[in-house]
Chain A
Amino acid sequence: MGSIQERKHVYLVMGLFCALALVTPYLDLFLQQLLSEILVFGLLAMSLDILLGFTGLASLGHAAYFGVASYAAAIVMTKKSWVITYSIYNGASEAGLGIFFLFFVGVLVAFIFSVFFGYLAIRAKDVYFLMITLSLAMVVWGLAYRWSAVTEGDNGIIISERPTLLGIELSDGLAFFYFALVVFLLCLGVLYLIVQSPFGKTLVGIREREERMEMLGYNVWLHKYLAFIIAGTFSGVAGVMWTLHNMFVSPSDVELITSAEALFMVALGGPATLIGPLIGAAIIRSLQQLVSIYVERWPLILGSIYIFTIMLSRLYGVDGILGFAKKFRRSSAVSENSDKLN
């Protein structure tokens, strides 16, 4: 690994995030909220990247863990008849710790679901894996839609007030943006350490040649299972963030389209890059929110972008936008020792 190259990338990313943090106060409230949303979905896509990009497992059910966490957080906040959780939450809120309790519950639930679902799904491969994760996610969707005593069914759960963070008001769009940025960066840091660790390298090895890793004595099944759990748990963090951001949860957040969108975000931004999915999320979400203002047929633009990305990766072996940038740099600087880039 070219460690100088790697460090350069880290500095570049940090610089860009600093610039973002500096620019945001000058944007209007709508854009601030769009940026928070991009960070939340960027986090969801980033967690999926651990599975799709690094381990090579395409899951079509990633919204399930996102969804259970956001439902868990919403239920804790609103369900007064569940005395235990509600009173703990209330007590914690008064101490300014309400958000931590929400994260604890949401992430725990996402963790439990991914432990259980991962155990069922990890045995399958390729398209079968895709199908199993999809059907498990549909189970969660069914729960959200049908179990209306708890989830309010189709109407969804509306949250009237955001809890404070150690006494800091998050109801303001800018404050929430900074909160989302900090959470995103923390998760990015942890996931970066994971993929840089020997464990992360093993995942890449499994992606590249599973049989060889098995021959070398690695417990492939366990590695994949752990990757699945990590991805699910971090998608739980994104789920709680989504509840806090949107202050509304409904079955449409859990459905197939959300899972597919996360998959597209990773593919579009560049798999196995961690930061690529955020770019994918930024493009897809801005298209939905900004371009739809000017173009009525905005799904056409979105569709063409998908097709373009897939064609690029098929024809030129370029993975997403970051892959494209990498290739572009390489071709413009032929003299550089190119095999270090990979």
Chain B
Amino acid sequence: MKKRIIAFVATIGMALALIVAPAQAAKEIRIGFIAPMTGIFAQIGKDMTNGFKMYLEQNKGMMGPVKVKFIHEDSTGKPSVNRQKAIKLIKRDKVHFFVGGLLASTGYALGAVADRYKTLYISPVPAGDDMTQRRAPKYFVRSGFTSSQGAHPLADYAYDKGYRRIVAVGQDYAFGYEYIGGFQRQFEKRGGKIIKKIWVKLGTKDFGPYLPQISKTADAVVVLAVGPSSLAFPKQYRAAGFKLPLLGGITAADEFTLPSMGDEAIGYVTAGQYSAALNTDKNNAFVKEYQSRYGKMASYYSETTYTTAMWIHKTLEKIKWNPDDTKGFIREFKNVRITDAPRGPLYIGSHGNVVQNIYIREVVRVPGDRLGLGVKTNSLWNKVIKTYPAVSQFYKFSPEEFLKQPVYSKSFPGCKFCE
């Protein structure tokens, strides 16, 4: 009996030890970080965390005189878990703000939490267009991009290249609709035609049923694939005998998929705000250090969180290192100009989205060891072939004109020229 009581008391004690909130130090900023560390998005979550941590380690855990307390939470990639973790960070750890999230859906969910608890949310990755357009939360800033931001310049590039009739293959969810929608709007504004839109289920690895729908008379194919679909598409596309040039969104051929791709990817032209092959001193140093620390190629996920940390640092400096000044933080975050981020110059434009360079990247094989990184020879890189400088989320449209339209979806823009 006695033993049981002791065991009972011990269990309660352990539970209490878990519950007791951590003590607070004098001058510190508490930053919550939410990324998937388990589940199918774990690798991406790791890249996100690595980028942020690398900046903190480079600065020995300090931002000026302020000590950074980095509180990391596993979101498993699900929107509702993200929400719960954010509330935990706000209520229990009393964070000054939280950073993270991955899918567009998590972005919207986290934005609602931020407004409800009046705690700032900084979004480095979730790219839902409406977060900085029609449904912008108040306690929110973005250091990443909007889904369609890279799609508008890609459409210009495609038109200038002489393509007029294009087949679009998009992943069947918000990110896919917004990317393909943005591409179509700009492309058709210039006078091109999207002659077919094919929506592919998220996570598709077998494109057999979709490939025959691609007309061989088209000039090119534009693809927005994510994760396993990105890897499978070019392989099966080439195997089916297609010779049409391939265009794609940022995730269609990124630093995640390139190491696992082969010759089929060569010539794949994609648009995005970052490429590990971007040849600037800042980026070369970043890629090199990332490679030596974590043994893999830097991706836009690690770049964007790294830059976010830098951005937070600069903002804090502007508000005299007072992390409690949330209003000032949001104001100054939008005023700071970042000149030395790996991806290039950045600042917040109208409606709170990042204005940044969009790079048109072509997959090439670079024999030898680029930058002496220890990457295996003959590796694939996203060579930057054209830069569209300072692209805003509205591209060449005026914000008013842009916002009059509904957000890009499966039904907007409609398929006027579909065959």
Contacts and interface: CB of A to CB of B under 8 A. Distances in A.
Contacts of B108: 155-156, 158
Interface stretch (B53-61, B76-84, B324-332): B76-84
A160 interface: yes
Interface string B103-138: 111001100100110000000000010000000000
The CB with the most chain A CB atoms within 10 A, among B73, B81, B91, B409, is that of B91
A33 B87 CA distance: 9
B205 interface: no
Given A28-B92, A155-B104, A296-B37, A289 B109 contact: no
B174 A29 contact: no
A98 to B, nearest CB: 18
B26 interface: no
B92 to A, nearest CB: 4
Interface residues of A, number: 32
B88 interface: yes
B219 interface: no
A246 B105 contact: no
A37 B80 contact: no
A259 to B, nearest CB: 14
A153 B105 CA distance: 9
A214 interface: no
A28 B94 CA distance: 11
A89 to B, nearest CB: 19
Nearest to A242: B80
A246 B21 contact: no
Contact of B409 (A29, A148, A297, A298): A148
Nearest to B108: A155
Interface string A272-299: 0000000000000000111111101111
B91 A30 contact: yes
B174 A248 contact: no
B91 A250 contact: no
Contacts of A154: 103-105, 173-174
A73 to B, nearest CB: 15
A250 B21 contact: no
B235 to A, nearest CB: 26
B19 interface: yes
B410 interface: yes
A156 B112 CA distance: 12
Contacts of B83: 246, 248
A292 B74 contact: yes
Given A28-B21, A160-B116, A253-B80, 17 more contacts: A27-B19, A28-B19, A29-B91, A29-B92, A30-B87, A30-B92, A33-B87, A148-B410, A153-B173, A154-B103, A154-B105, A158-B109, A247-B112, A248-B79, A248-B83, A294-B18, A299-B38
Please give me the 7 A-B residue pairs with the lowest Cβ-Cβ distance, nearest first: A30-B92, A30-B91, A29-B91, A158-B112, A252-B78, A154-B173, A250-B79
26 contacts: A29-B91, A30-B91, A30-B92, A31-B92, A37-B84, A148-B410, A153-B174, A154-B105, A154-B174, A155-B104, A156-B80, A156-B108, A158-B108, A160-B112, A160-B116, A246-B83, A248-B80, A250-B78, A250-B80, A252-B78, A253-B80, A289-B84, A289-B88, A291-B18, A294-B18, A297-B38
Interface of A: 27-31, 33, 37, 148, 153-156, 158, 160, 173, 246-248, 250, 252-253, 288-294, 296-299
